[in-house]
């Protein structure tokens, strides 16, 4: 069962600002595809070979995912530094689980998460 729509609004308005201010969560900076505004979204970012993998709890239609795909990249603040990410692409569960280290807990089956976003470290 996917997360209810209202939960995304609570998350965006209440929990996200606290997570960003706290500085302990990885924060993805992306540009709105229509507004051109800069957004910061705290996410679970998992390092994988050559980049990062993001679990799409709310699916690939989430605004932040659509923004990243439209912009063809984003910046990630993780462990006190920023990295530039490029070549965003949706990947399935099999590819995602193969890329993740064994120490990373897989999402519970009951959440029915089948889509993930993978991005590469930008050359530079």
Mean pLDDT score of the chain: 84
Higher pLDDT, 9 or 108: 108
Integer Cα distance of 107 and 94 in angstroms: 13
**Which domains occur in the chain, in start order?**
17-121 (2.30.110.10)
Cβ pair 28, 45 in contact under 8 A: yes
Percent of the chain as helix, strand, coil, to the nearest 5: 30, 35, 35
pLDDT, one tens digit per residue, over 44-101 is 899 999 999 999 988 999 999 999 999 999 999 998 899 999 999 999 999 999 999 8
Q: pTM of this prediction?
A: 0.79
Residue 57: predicted pLDDT: 87
């Amino acid at each position: 069962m996917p997360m209810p729509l209202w939960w995304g609004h609570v998350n965006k308005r209440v929990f996200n600002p606290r997570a960003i201010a706290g500085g302990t969560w990885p924060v993805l900076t992306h540009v709105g595809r229509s507004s051109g505004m800069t957004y910061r979204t705290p996410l679970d970012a998992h390092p994988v070979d050559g980049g990062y993998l993001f679990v799409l709890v709310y699916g690939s239609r989430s605004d932040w995912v659509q923004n990243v795909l439209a912009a063809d990249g984003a910046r990630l603040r993780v462990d006190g530094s920023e990295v530039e990410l490029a070549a965003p692409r949706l990947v399935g569960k099999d590819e995602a689980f193969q890329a993740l280290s064994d120490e990373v807990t897989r999402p519970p089956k009951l959440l029915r998460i089948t889509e993930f976003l993978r991005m590469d470290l930008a050359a530079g």
